Amino acid sequence: MSKTVSFMTKNFGKYDIHSIDSYESIGGFDALRRAVTMTGFEIADRIAECGVKGRGGAAYDMGRKWHQAREIDQKEKVVVCNADEGEPCTFKDRALIENDPFRLIEAMIIAGYSIGAQNGYLYMREEYSHLRPLLLNAIAQAEEKGYLGKNILGVEGFDYQIHLQSGAGAYVCGEGTALVESIEGKSGRPRKKPPFIKQCGLFNLPTCVQNVESLCLVPSILLDDEKVYLTYGTEKSPGTKMISVGGNVKQPGAFEIPFGITLREIIYELAGGVSGNQDIRLIQLGGASGKVCGPDKLDTPYTYEDLAQAGLTVGSGAILVVDTRTSVMDFLRTTQAFFSHESCGQCTPCRGGNKQMKYLLEKVASGTHTAEDIKTMNKVIMIMQQASLCGLGESAENALCSAMKVFPEVFAVKEEIE
């Protein structure tokens, strides 16, 4: 099995990313021309046939999502592209924007046509501000060429505009409802549900939120008459995935891989192995909110089902490698400090839970914790997972919870050892 593929990344290095004419010369906007000959439901069905799950972390069936969005009978709808990408060690969306900006714009237009939206909002994290000129140029040239505006490609009533919005650097704005609050000019804090965003989202309109990678798959899928996409991956995890590998590796980077290659192949072949030829202490998948495993899981295939069986998740597509120069407890304390800082403070389980967990981890690190402290940690984890308002609080303790199972010796109480 080839270690990398070029399905959604086939345009990388093939055209001038500042020129729409250059993009058109390699087939740019052919997918949009194909899309307007289809109905929105047909486009959704095409995505569903390929078994695409959302690449933002939740892994929701993308074809089903677009089908549901199209079914909503309302005159005005909105598409939101989530380019916040605030999950630590996650930078695969950035690679897609940097190397193929026009593909993202084309994909957003296709999404607008498919669900019947009139406006698309591209929400980009503050740390990617250097990419604003690139995207603003792509939007402006698309409008000049008639791919944005009124009656696009001569289709009566297909009116669509794209707006670029920048966040202020808040991790919580990667959550859909916090993101739309931020676009509306409010503090980026999650909304209570219901109503759900697909029915009442941005400006109280039905809203379809997709991340960059999910959208960038669409143009290639619509033009994939030979069903090449389905030749990659496995039966239950078909196709390809963009991943970002970082931490203690020799060649960190973003790669498009077929589902099914192992973690060992990703780390030791694509990423060049562990820096300094050190041994691996742990691997975290899916960003700071992802679970961790030890090196004994290196031969696990990178698929939804195999990772789930190993107690792991695909999540955001991040793979963080931590070698033996860092202790498990130092890693967990750093992760906990991140979530304590990024909690928006709106709900008590997350606000208080992260603060309490930070305190308890300090006790474990100093070796002064008791069996009662461990019971309290498990209780706080349960409360946060079940009662937090959004995914930040629900997943903030994933690394800790999994580490307690993988590295029980780290949490052993001294009096029990004695």
From the list 408, 387, 315, the residue with the least C-alpha distance to 57 is 315
Express as a percent the part of the chain with pLDDT over 70. 99
Q: What is the pLDDT of residues 289-333, one digit of tens each?
A: 999 999 999 999 999 999 999 999 999 999 999 999 999 999 999
What are 97's two structure tokens? 């924007």
Mean predicted confidence (pLDDT) in 149-169: 96
pLDDT at 89: 96
Q: What is the pLDDT of residues 161-198, one digit of tens each?
A: 999 999 999 999 999 999 999 999 999 999 999 999 99
pLDDT of 138 higher than 60: yes
Among the listed ranges 53-62, 84-93, 257-266, 356-365, which one has the minimum average pLDDT value?
Answer: 53-62
Confidence of residue 56 (pLDDT cuts 50, 70, 90): confident
pLDDT at 416: 55
What CA–CA distance (Å, rounded) separates 32 from 113? 9
- Size (the chain), residues: 418
Q: What is the pLDDT of residues 199-258, one digit of tens each?
A: 999 999 999 999 999 999 999 999 999 999 999 999 999 999 999 999 999 999 999 999
pLDDT at 414: 76
Q: What is the pLDDT of residues 83-92, one digit of tens each?
A: 999 999 999 9
pLDDT at 418: 46
Sign of the CA dihedral 3, 6, 8, 14? positive
Number of neighbours of residue 329 by Cβ within 10 angstroms: 18
SS (H, E, C) the chain: CCCCCCCCCCCCCCCCCCCHHHHHHCCCCHHHHHHCCCCHHHHHHHHHHCCCECCCCCCCEHHHHHHHHHHCCCCCCEEEEEECCCCCCCCHHHHHHHHCHHHHHHHHHHHHHHHCCCEEEEEECHHHHHHHHHHHHHHHHHHHCCCCECCHHHCCCCCEEEEEEECCCCHHHHCHHHHHHHHCCCCCCCCCCCCCCCCCCHHHCCEEEEEHHHHHHHHHHHCCCCCHHHHCECCCCECEEEEEEEECECCCEEEEEECCCEHHHHHHHHCCCEHHHCCEEEEEECCCCCCEECHHHCCCECCHHHHHHCCCCCCCCEEEEEECCCCHHHHHHHHHHHHHHHCCCCCHHHHHHHHHHHHHHHHHHHCCCCHHHHHHHHHHHHHHHHHCCCHHHHHCCHHHHHHHHHCHHHHCCHHHHC
Mean pLDDT of the chain: 96
Q: Fill in the amino acid letter for 293.
A: C
